[in-house]
Amino acid sequence: MKATLLFLFSILISTSVLSQVFAGQIDDFESGTVQSWAEGAQSPNPPVNISTGGPNGANDNFLRNVSSGAGPGSRMVMFNQNQWTGNFTGQSIIAIKFKAKATTNSLNIRIAFDGAGGKICTTNAVTINSGSPWTEVTIPISSSNFSLIGGTNISQTLQNVNTMRILSSASPAWEGDAISATLDIDVIEASTTLSLDDFQLKEFSISPNPASALIQLKTQPNLKVDNVAVFDLLGKQVYTSKVLESQIDISKWSKGMYIIKISANNFSKTERFLKQ
């Protein structure tokens, strides 16, 4: 009898280890477990399942991960080496979607993988502002969305992932930033589509306008920008970047009207602003 139980237990363990990601997979935490999400063994504050207060309100379970900002458990990062492993490319998974909110401090959320081609992390972060309500987040995970962080081949990693991480970091990284914060997360989905909003510049603002020294740029947080350019009214390009900076220094520019153009996902949008 004991031998039979040990045999069955070994089968269950093997099945768990061999779990593979599949298109449409969702972690909704309604089982009351953390669904194999974890931190390092030394962390005193690993992810926990919260039984109520998720995006759907009362009795909606969700996952909470806390980082202390100092000592063990200081970094906002959690990982999964079970159901979020395998061939993301072969399953046509092009985005990780979830609902999230942050408290104490705002978070810059990224997805990182380790696998056959080494460690990689999404180039662009999605900012979740502290105190905001539950927010729908989409993080594209095609090859072009990643930076190498010690790895050698992004495509190889996406075809054979052994670890997936969700972390907060100011720049692409494997370890999250040390920060005192709480991340609540739910309905983590392996998606084969991007929402319509990912293909449009539905949100794009400049402030202040007029401005004399700095302009602040804002778009939807999950937007991957192809190019940012600024022109004067004569059509002369005075600024260009492949990265969307949060602000641009215009203090040395001549006074007058300018046009800024942002291109992303085969769409572009222009806005005018006045340099005083």
Q: Which amino acid is at 137?
A: V
CATH at 168: 2.60.120.260
Q: What is the distance, to the nearest Å, from the Cα of residue 128 to the centroid of all Cα atoms in its chain?
A: 9
The tally of CA atoms less than 13 A away on the side-chain side of residue 253 is 23
Task: Give the C-alpha separation, 174 to 150, whole Å.
Answer: 9
Position 16 confidence tier, pLDDT thresholds 50, 70, 90: very low
Write a three-state SS string for 230-258. Answer: EEECCCCEEEEECCCCCEEECCCCCCEEE
Q: Cβ distance 204 to 262 under 8 Å?
A: yes
- Output the pLDDT for position 229: 85
56 lies in the same domain as 158 = yes
Which residue is listed with tokens 């005075």?
238
What percent of the chain shows pLDDT beyond 70? 85
- Output the pLDDT for position 261: 78
Answer yes or no: is pLDDT of 198 > 60. no
**Mean of per-residue pLDDT scores for the chain:** 86
167 lies in the same domain as 74 = yes
- Output the pLDDT for position 217: 85
CATH at 268: 2.60.40.10
Task: Give the C-alpha separation, 27 to 37, whole Å.
Answer: 10
Q: What is the DSSP string of 121-150?
A: EESS-EEE-BT---EEEEEE-SGGGEEESS
46 lies in the same domain as 87 = yes
Using the 3D structure, point to which of 177, 194, 211 is the last residue of a domain: 194
270 lies in the same domain as 165 = no
Residue 154 located in a structural domain: yes
Residue 52 located in a structural domain: yes
- Output the pLDDT for position 14: 36
Residue 213 located in a structural domain: yes
Answer yes or no: is pLDDT of 6 > 60. no
124 lies in the same domain as 172 = yes
- Output the pLDDT for position 218: 80
Question: pLDDT: is 259 or 101 the higher one?
Answer: 101
For 216-243, the pLDDT digits (tens) are 888 766 667 778 888 876 667 899 888 8
Of the candidates 169, 183, 48, the residue with the CA atom closest to the CA atom of residue 119: 169
256 lies in the same domain as 122 = no
Task: Give the C-alpha separation, 166 to 45, whole Å.
Answer: 16
What percent of the chain shows pLDDT beyond 90? 61
Identify any residues that bridge with 147 across adjacent strands, giving them in sequence order. Answer: 121
Answer yes or no: is pLDDT of 270 > 90. no
Using the 3D structure, point to which of 139, 161, 194 is the last residue of a domain: 194
Q: What is the distance, to the nearest Å, from the Cα of residue 116 to the centroid of all Cα atoms in its chain?
A: 21
- The lowest-confidence range among 98-102, 183-187, 198-202 is 198-202
- Give me the sign of the Cα torsion angle 148, 107, 89, 18: positive
172 lies in the same domain as 242 = no
- The lowest-confidence range among 19-23, 74-78, 255-259, 261-265 is 261-265
Using the 3D structure, point to which of 175, 194, 213 is the last residue of a domain: 194
Task: Give the C-alpha separation, 75 to 246, whole Å.
Answer: 24
Answer yes or no: is pLDDT of 155 > 90. yes
- Output the pLDDT for position 268: 60
- Output the pLDDT for position 221: 67
CA 214, 216, 220 angle in degrees (round to 5)?
165
155 lies in the same domain as 111 = yes
176 lies in the same domain as 138 = yes
Q: Cβ distance 41 to 199 under 8 Å?
A: no
176 lies in the same domain as 83 = yes
For 86-138, the pLDDT digits (tens) are 999 999 899 999 999 999 999 999 999 999 999 999 999 999 999 989 998 98
- Give the pairing of strands 135-140 and 77-80: unpaired
179 lies in the same domain as 254 = no
Identify any residues that bridge with 272 across adjacent strands, giving them in sequence order. Answer: 259
Pair of tokens at residue 180: 């005192």
Position 263 confidence tier, pLDDT thresholds 50, 70, 90: confident
Number of domains composing the chain: 2
- Can you give the residue range of the structural domain that contains 252? 197-275
Of the candidates 77, 124, 132, 123, the residue with the CA atom closest to the CA atom of residue 99: 132
Pair of tokens at residue 84: 């979020």
Residue 9 located in a structural domain: no
- Output the pLDDT for position 1: 44
